[in-house]
A and B are shown apart, each in its own frame.
Chain A
């Protein structure tokens, strides 16, 4: 166990992210092909599923091209600026620190994810990820335009606590990779001790569901215990219907990628007041829906 206390260079920490990221992507592509073969055997393959999957990868490229470079530079500069000027200490770069960083980053991910669901601005971008009516590995790569922006604010405190920026990047990446692997219907339930502590495909299917009892549940990244502790956990005990409500019914990548912001823009444009506009940005999306229902009811009476 001595190696846990060994100091790493920042180049090595960065290297592990590059290494794991590269091979993980290859593994997920292989897994996706396996999923497609399995779907084919089950005779569930449709042109819509193929179109939806291609759209998922197009959103990934769009996300990288439109926001990825800018956001990566923003992250890099921002984290190092905070680390040099506002960190309360600078923790040693060791494997032990990395383990601690992953646990805290996983909690940060929980809160960031919860924020994306309960704030109109966050949902405008994150709704893209949820808008697929399918649930396979390619859905994990279905990104919205600003999906990379908000995590900065939830992970910057880790840098302030003294974690080296590259260590925070690696921890964030590991949480993200773990999450990615959960997007599958092929795995049903895992052994009970695993389901009790870890996030699993079953738990994450619940998160992607439109069933009313599953709405805004299971935000976890790696450990499901955060949801259990903070009261946002739901067990998968009825058949899951995937997607968002109302459905977008499109595999057009442009429509899929921008539909959240188009909808939010339209709501802002038609808002009756500035305070309403502000609430559209910060309140949960369900609030806007309720207001629209009230307005319709008033108009018809």
Chain B
């Protein structure tokens, strides 16, 4: 085979393998698996990594006292224990950046949707939280709320805002979650209101924005928030 044909063949083989991997049926990553080395103390990184391969997840977390990892592992285990169905039926493999990308595992939320001035967003949140018919259906203390901002006006002062519970079993007004490549603007964690507002500065307003999505995960009173933007 001559040189150009060899290069072409290499590209073809690579393309076929790559396509296979793009469409592989990967299990959606759990919270633990989304956790990244970026969150780790660099001093223990190498040893902890070695230990992870040699002794497994739980032993490593115990030995190195990786508090953040511990929390993520507990979250994952409690999720698996309390909601096995939701994990089993998660629909699509999601191509995700590890650790910092919020992952949507189903396509709808149940809640309310209105076109409002963004300055009056607090009112919509209050309206949503006051809907006892919805919150009364929650079966556990662990749940997720999504807030979707879409159909912005040119000044980004007005948008359609949809807020809803991410729970397949709930009855009520179903709202589609926007699909597309998720670009994170706020890493999962506990954030102040000002940090959440600042996160919007990371949006590239030169590009057409399809939606901004805010995800809030609750375990009892504990709340973790992450946000991402989807461009058109």
**Contact surface of A with B, Cβ cutoff 8 Å:** 5-12, 14-20, 22, 89-94, 96-97, 100, 103-104, 107, 111, 161-162, 164, 166, 229-231
Q: Is the pair B37, A92 in contact by a Cβ cutoff of 8 Å? A: no
Cross-chain contact of B1 among A6, A8, A97, A231 (Cβ < 8 A): A231
Which residues of B sit under 8 angstroms from A97, Cβ to Cβ?
21, 24, 26
Given contact pairs A89-B22, A91-B21, A229 touches B96 in the complex (Cβ within 8 A)? no
Q: Is the pair B46, A18 in contact by a Cβ cutoff of 8 Å? A: yes
- Name 30 A/B residue pairs within 8 A (Cβ), A-sorted: A5-B26, A7-B29, A7-B30, A8-B33, A9-B32, A9-B35, A10-B98, A14-B45, A15-B48, A15-B52, A15-B54, A18-B50, A18-B53, A19-B50, A90-B96, A91-B21, A92-B26, A92-B94, A93-B29, A93-B98, A94-B26, A100-B18, A103-B13, A104-B14, A104-B18, A107-B10, A107-B13, A107-B14, A230-B1, A230-B9
Q: Is the pair A14, B37 in contact by a Cβ cutoff of 8 Å? A: yes
Cross-chain contact of A91 among B48, B50, B95 (Cβ < 8 A): B95
Residues of B8-51 contacting chain A, CB below 8 A:
9-10, 13-14, 17-18, 20-22, 24-30, 32-33, 35-37, 40, 45-46, 48-51
**A153 CB to nearest chain B CB (Å):** 15
Q: Is the pair B98, A164 in contact by a Cβ cutoff of 8 Å? A: yes
Q: Is the pair B49, A15 in contact by a Cβ cutoff of 8 Å? A: yes
Residues of B74-105 contacting chain A, CB below 8 A:
93-99
For B, the interface residue count at a CB cutoff of 8 angstroms equals 42
**Contact surface of B with A, Cβ cutoff 8 Å:** 1-2, 6, 9-10, 13-14, 17-18, 20-22, 24-30, 32-33, 35-37, 40, 45-46, 48-54, 57, 93-99
Cross-chain contact of A19 among B9, B17, B30, B54 (Cβ < 8 A): B54
- In the docked arrangement, what's the CA distance between A96 and B49, Å? 20
Residue of B nearest to A94 (CB): B26
Cross-chain contact of A22 among B2, B10, B50 (Cβ < 8 A): B50
Q: Is the pair B26, A7 in contact by a Cβ cutoff of 8 Å? A: yes
Q: Is the pair A10, B26 in contact by a Cβ cutoff of 8 Å? A: no
Other 20 A-B pairs with CB < 8 A, given A7-B26, A9-B98, A164-B98: A5-B26, A7-B27, A9-B32, A9-B33, A11-B45, A11-B48, A11-B52, A14-B37, A15-B48, A15-B53, A19-B54, A89-B95, A90-B95, A97-B24, A103-B13, A104-B18, A161-B14, A229-B6, A231-B1, A231-B6
Which residues of B sit under 8 angstroms from A161, Cβ to Cβ?
14, 18
Which residues of A sit under 8 angstroms from B27, Cβ to Cβ?
5-7, 94
**B40 CB to nearest chain A CB (Å):** 7
Which residues of B sit under 8 angstroms from A7, Cβ to Cβ?
26-30, 33
Which residues of A sit under 8 angstroms from B1, Cβ to Cβ?
229-231
Which residues of B sit under 8 angstroms from A9, Cβ to Cβ?
32-33, 35-37, 52, 98
Q: Is the pair B49, A100 in contact by a Cβ cutoff of 8 Å? A: no
Cross-chain contact of A5 among B10, B22, B25 (Cβ < 8 A): B25
**A174 CB to nearest chain B CB (Å):** 13
- In the docked arrangement, what's the CA distance between A104 and B36, Å? 25
Which residues of B sit under 8 angstroms from A20, Cβ to Cβ?
53
Q: Is the pair B53, A96 in contact by a Cβ cutoff of 8 Å? A: no
Which residues of A sit under 8 angstroms from B10, Cβ to Cβ?
107, 111
Which residues of B sit under 8 angstroms from A111, Cβ to Cβ?
10
Cross-chain contact of A92 among B30, B46, B50, B96 (Cβ < 8 A): B96
Q: Is the pair A162, B50 in contact by a Cβ cutoff of 8 Å? A: no
- In the docked arrangement, what's the CA distance between A14 and B10, Å? 27
Given contact pairs A18-B46, A90-B95, A96 touches B35 in the complex (Cβ within 8 A)? no
Given contact pairs A100-B18, A104-B14, A92 touches B49 in the complex (Cβ within 8 A)? no
- In the docked arrangement, what's the CA distance between A9 and B39, Å? 12
**A69 CB to nearest chain B CB (Å):** 14
Residue of B nearest to A161 (CB): B18
**A192 CB to nearest chain B CB (Å):** 23
Residue of B nearest to A92 (CB): B26
Residue of A nearest to B13 (CB): A107
Which residues of A sit under 8 angstroms from B97, Cβ to Cβ?
90
Given contact pairs A6-B27, A92-B93, A11 touches B54 in the complex (Cβ within 8 A)? no
Q: Is the pair B95, A162 in contact by a Cβ cutoff of 8 Å? A: yes
Given contact pairs A107-B10, A107-B14, A100 touches B20 in the complex (Cβ within 8 A)? yes
**A100 CB to nearest chain B CB (Å):** 5
Q: Is the pair A18, B14 in contact by a Cβ cutoff of 8 Å? A: no
Q: Is the pair B6, A230 in contact by a Cβ cutoff of 8 Å? A: yes
Instruction: Pick the 5 closest A-B CB pairs, nearest first.
Output: A15-B53, A15-B49, A92-B26, A19-B53, A15-B52
Cross-chain contact of A12 among B22, B30, B53 (Cβ < 8 A): B53
Which residues of A sit under 8 angstroms from B45, Cβ to Cβ?
11, 14
Which residues of A sit under 8 angstroms from B20, Cβ to Cβ?
100
**B110 CB to nearest chain A CB (Å):** 27
